[in-house]
Structure 1
Amino acid sequence: MTLEQFTQSDGQIARRYDYEDESVLAVDFGSVNADATTDLADGTVIVIIDDQQYEFDLPEGAADAHTFIRNGVLTVELEGNQ
């Protein structure tokens, strides 16, 4: 599932920010006080919040990505412009 499909089907708010040397994807899961984790596997971002799992694919050509989740907001940093 791409980020656009993910946000449309699950109603999440997502933004993409493009900078000179990186792109940043931010997905707001709402004010979540629950345990949340994120992982990256074979170009797919996996987010687990309580008992629910969410997945979406990184943009094509994304070589190096870093993910973290804080206060219910998932951040994916992509080196270079995708």
Structure 2
Amino acid sequence: MEIEADYIGLLLIASAGYDPRVAPKVYEKLGKITGDSLVQNYLSTHPSGKKRAELLAQAQVMEEAVTIYKNVRAGRGVEGFL
């Protein structure tokens, strides 16, 4: 469920006019701060920062978010979302 929440959050920040390409970098930094490890990832209810960054940076996910972001920035709104 956390991965789905991250995906929805990425689309929401894009629809608010914020650049979604920054999100994976934020999770990478968060992972460095909290000290990602396989054991921690297994025992945690949340994926590691590194794993979250990888999932959000996937081409299909990021392309969707960037398309929304560009439409909002161009004043076209968020077509077909929410």
Higher share of residues assigned helix: 2
Higher share of residues assigned strand: 1
Rg bigger for which structure? 2
**Fold-level similarity (TM above 0.5):** no
